[in-house]
Structure 1
Amino acid sequence: MTQTAGTGTIDELRKTFQGEVFGPEDPGYDDARRVWNAVHDRRPAVVARCESTEDVRTAIGFATEHDLEIAVRGGAHSVAGDSAIDDGLVIDLSKLNEVTVDAEAKRAKIGGGGLLGDLDAATQEYGLAVPAGMVSHTGVGGLTLGGGMGWLTRMHGLSIDNLVSAQLVTADGRVLRAAEDENPDLFWAIRGGGGNFGVVTEFEFRLHEVGPIVHHGMLFWDQAQGPEVFKLARELFADLPREINVAIAGLNAPPAPFVPEHLHFQLGYALLVNGFGSAEQHAELMDRLRTALPPLFEFATPMPYTAVQQLIDEANGWGKYNYEKGAYLEELTDDVIAVITEHLPRKQSPMSINLYYRLDNAYSEVADDATAFSGGRSPRFATFIVGVCGVPELLPVEREWARSFWSALVPHSLGIGSYVNSMGEIEDDRVRASYGEKYERLARVKAEFDPDNVFHRNANIHPARIGSRLI
């Protein structure tokens, strides 16, 4: 691909494009090219901010005609920078963010560029929600296509488990609906297979009754108590009601009003406890935890579900330098705990964090082969080792910390594969390991809908081939 586009060429796109088009010389170009992860400071030849599905078709056609590599931008939250590109064309979906809710049918539709905050705000007007992520400025599209983990996963599964249908534009410009009863192989593939098969312009989800008031709690312990915290959590998960989700975090205490000032930025371990059942159920669990292992501080309060979904927005704000490695763990064994408590203190940035999410109940009630999700459906923990810093000079240190931590953890994990949305860099062997036996089926679907691998800035699935022929 030549990956260049002069002013005259860009003007050609403007003639048939409804939305805004930004070239390097245009006002607004720098804002249009900026993405969440500051690591990826890339300069596309053109940014096409789409107003409609027809605009998406036009942008894809223009890019293929002029040999421009394509990046697709929804919420621009890709850790690996897949929504940014040098010299090519960015298909910006941010204007496709309309949400419609059918409260009676418990269904919601959202444009491919909508954010979780858009979806939560619209559905919570009716006391409903889609199981989704935990940061409200994340794009629904990228999150969903990779799977979609969140606070509601133990109750209602992944985002893809609640996807009813999707509309997408393929590399050859076809506008297709994917659902159980229409293009079923494609529907299977987009539920976990990422953006490999086209540009999704609309998602339709199944909704569940949630909130509007839920119950949040946090307990924090000194780093020396790390082994005790993990063993307490291990016991807790054995009989944890599905209405409660608990995440384990290795982090520096935030400088928040509920944290004693002398503990600000102290390294330690926290349990984040979100309850979607009764207040009594949440209170009983919090009491069980504080009695078993008294924390340095705690915080507990009822709050709107939308507020819970925004709790870590600031910590995950734009403009920081991020790197991430992930894995799946079958159990929090003593050996796993030893690795964690050895490696967490080696981080240098107070922004860096290590997280553990329990995946079971509704998550495990879905058959492994029902979707293309990059992880088995047996009960497990998803861990995320996230290096974050405010200045680029510290990034190499935090990146090495995350890699070293991950390398030490992998021998105790379910392999080198992980949740594809958590990949800070796309490594082909890890992508293949993540999908396992599903990879070959995904490759066949890829060959049918994107044989030339036009959409390859993702956890890429290579189109299936026999010899030199696509199949």
Structure 2
Amino acid sequence: MPTLITALLVAAFSFRLVSADLSSGLNGAEVNAVFPGDSNYADASRAYNLRFTLEPAAVAYPTTPEEVSSIIQVGVDNNLKVVARSGGHSYAANGLGGQNGSLVIDMSNMKAITIDSSANTAVIETGNRLGDVALALNAAGRALPHGTCPYVGIGGHSAFGGYGFTSRLWGLALDPIFAINAVLANGTIVRATEDLYPDIFWALKGAAPSFAITTSVEVNTFAAPSYAIVMEYSWSSVDYEMAGQYLYSFQNFSLSGPPSALAGELVLSRGSEEGQVTFALTAAWYGDGDEDSANSAIQPFLDVMPTPTSSQILGDGSYIDSVSVLGGTTLDTSEAPDITDTFYAKSIMTPESEPMTLEACTSFMQYLATEGFTSNTAWFTQIELYGGPNSKIREIPNNATAFSRRDTLFTFQLYASSSNSLPPYPAEGFTFLDGMVSSVTSNMPETWNYGAYTNYLDNELENWQTLYFNDNYPRLKSIKDQVDPADTFWFPTSIEE
């Protein structure tokens, strides 16, 4: 049984393209591709985050793993860096290479979803978007943990973790994956599992784009919950000191062990006047019972809060409707085009073993209520509940997969768009978000082992190797040295060889 990475390094290609010219090489491989100067090049190379304007050498559209292998070889022959694009939602345009001149392998023509109802498994090609995956699985009464935006690609999302509202119940999107079909830098097509190429499998579950082009994932699915609803509560124009106490209370509630079927995130936005914030909670319930069961789960937090300014229960009780409600748009991504934005984002992952102090919570809210009130950006922050005693995410050790921050209690998404969602992006937006982070970290011990979430990619982040991958980075670097010694799969935050 092949388990040694070194065996892959001497594997020969089943074919070798003779042309070193990019255009003729891709045409010779009979792969559809778009090049600079083509009429559709602007659309093919447009980033989701319009803060980035990049010019790839070409965008190629494979339909099979063999074509992916061919494209990689053409890239190697032309001394190009090669990157995969699944849904194209990388916050820093890494799916376009993060720089000019990369060869982009766009997976959008690989959208097969094969469900085995007898084994409750599925094979999902990485050109699929989350909304389409949810619809296909739901038709068979099944589901997976994943994020809320329907247009995010399953490839990148699961490659770097994949948090969603069912993650406390089922884990991250990468956790149900038991096999990954991928193409390595030398063109070898592999099926990696815990037994077949285990080091590669480990690396692909948390840092995949640095090591291979993933063509499909094989997953264990979950029975769609029998009952699911979304609950929204809002407290408008909250004084920052009270808001700090509310955040601290939510942290205490989260540490008390709410049921794994309960998900939740705080959503913070600009207050109606300086010194205030709008404080909201979006919660969801995925379990047996009815609305009373959901209300009972969230009630201990509501008991320590004032009466909300507004509250509502959303959804018809079905799982797929809860996915639609949280997504805020159609789940069938063929019905409407994807949208773009011009933004900068950062993140904080707080360790469950060292919760935030009340001082840190209040400092954060004070910053939002003052600097946030005068900011020339359209901003929001989400504080997502990852952990707590009943969370499935934390049951897996930090070193079990390349994703390293499983002992997280909260993940903050800090997000600020230009005022009209179009370029140019204001320079003040960068310092504004940097200040959000420091308002928390400067009020915690210097040894505070906080992290950052790779799916909220920050191209300005210092010490990203530790913040994203922590103690797993040395092993990732070692595997990278072996499977991609020429650093073919490079982008600004790829694992260094």
Q: What TM-score bracket applies, with the shorter chain setting the length?
A: 0.7 to 0.9
Q: What residue is the counterpart of 2:399 in the other structure? A: 369
- Whole-Å separation in 2 of the counterparts to 1:364 and 1:8: 49
- Distance apart, 1:312 and its partner CA: 5.5
Match 2:207 to one of 190, 193, 197: 193
Instruction: Give the aligned residue type for 1:59.
Output: I
Q: Residue deviations 1:125-147, cap 9 Å, x none?
A: 12211111121111111111111
**Pairwise mapping of residues 141-220 of structure 1 onto structure 2 (< 5 A)?**
141-211=155-225, 213-220=227-234
Change (3 A) 1:440 1:66: same
Alignment partner, residue 234 of structure 1: 251
Could you say what secondary structure the match of 1:324 adopts?
Answer: strand
* 2:235 maps to which of 191, 201, 221: 221
Checking the alignment, whether the CA contact within 8 Å between 1:374 and 1:419 is kept in structure 2 is: no
TM-aligned CA distance change 1:355 to 1:169, over 3 Å: same
Give the superposition deviation at 1:436: 2.3
The Cα offsets for residues 87-133 of structure 1, whole Å up to 9 and x where unpaired, read as: 22111111112111122312111112211112111111122111111
Whole-angstrom distance in 1 between the partners of 2:231 and 2:324: 14
* Structure-2 separation of matches of 1:401 and 1:103: 49
Instruction: Find the aligned partners of 1:188 and 1:140 in 2 and give their Cα distance.
Output: 18
Mapped contact 1:219–1:298 kept (Cα < 8 A):
yes
Aligned match for 2:409, one of 380, 387, 390? 380
Paired position in structure 1 for 2:8: none
What is the deviation of 1:426? 5.9
Residues 302-311 or 399-408, more deviating: 302-311
Alpha-carbon contact 1:108-1:207 (below 8 Å) kept: yes
Q: Which residue of 2 aligns with 1:75?
A: 87
Quote how far apart the aligned CAs of 1:229 are. Answer: 2.6
Alpha-carbon contact 1:80-1:426 (below 8 Å) kept:
no
Show the counterpart of 1:396. 427
Letter in 1 for 2:311: E
For the structure 1 residues 305 and 323, does the alpha-carbon distance in structure 2 shift closer, same or farther, using more than 3 Å as the test? Answer: farther
Residues 228 and 9 of structure 1: is their aligned pair in 2 closer, same or farther, counting only changes over 3 Å? closer
Tell me the secondary structure at the aligned position of residue 275 of structure 1.
strand
CA distance, structure 1, for counterparts of residue 320 and residue 50 of structure 2: 26
**Deviation of the 1:287 alpha carbon:** 5.2
CA gap 1:293/1:285 in 2 versus in 1, 3 angstroms: farther
SS at match of 1:341: helix
| Structure 2 residue 369 is matched with structure 1 residue 342 | no
| Equivalent pair of 1:94/1:114 in contact (CA under 8 Å) | yes
Q: State the distance in 2 between where 1:157 and 1:242 align.
A: 10
> Aligned partners of 2:263 and 2:205: how far apart in 1?
23
**Corresponding residue to 1:446 among 480, 485, 496:** 480
Matching of residues 69-148 of structure 1 within 5 Å: 69-85=81-97, 86-148=100-162
**Alpha-carbon distance in 2 for matches of 1:37, 1:47:** 18
Q: What amino acid does structure 2 have at the position aligned with 1:33?
A: S
Q: Distance in 2 between matches of 1:15 and 1:40?
A: 31
Which structure 1 segments of 5+ residues have no match? 1-6, 254-261, 464-471
Task: Please tell me the residue identity of whatever aligns with 2:309.
Answer: L
Give the secondary-structure state (helix, strand or coil) at the position aligned to 1:437: helix
Equivalenced residue count is 446
Within the candidate set 328, 343, 353, 1:322 is matched to: 343
Moved more, 291-300 or 127-136: 291-300
SS at match of 1:344: helix
CA contact (8 A) 1:135 1:309 kept: no
Residue pair 1:420, 1:459 contacting (<8 A) in 2 also: no
Describe the shift of the 1:428–1:203 C-alpha distance in structure 2 as closer, same or farther (beyond 3 A).
Answer: farther
* SS across alignment from 1:10: helix
Q: 1:350, 1:242 → 2: CA distance?
A: 35
Cα distance 1:163–1:295, how it changes in 2: closer, same or farther (>3 A)? same
What residue is the counterpart of 1:355 in the other structure? Answer: 382
Shift of 1:183: 0.6
Equivalent residue letter for 2:92: A
User: In structure 1, the residue corresponding to 2:156 is in which secondary structure?
Assistant: helix
Q: Is the 8 A contact 1:137 1:313 kept in 2?
A: no
For the aligned residue pairs, the C-alpha RMSD in angstroms reads 2.6
CA distance in 2, matches of 1:419, 1:395: 24
Contact 2:245 2:361 in 1 (8 A): no
Q: Once the 2 structures are TM-superposed, how far is the Cα of residue 458 of structure 1 from its aligned partner? A: 5.5
Deviates more, 1:140-149 or 1:233-242: 233-242
Who is 2:265 aligned against? Answer: 247
Structure 2 equivalent of residue 4 of structure 1: none
Equivalent residue number for residue 306 of structure 2: 293
The one-character-per-residue Cα deviations of 1:159-191 (angstroms, maximum 9, x if unpaired) are: 122111101101110001111121111111111
Aligned letter for 2:268? G
Percent of aligned pairs with the same residue? 22
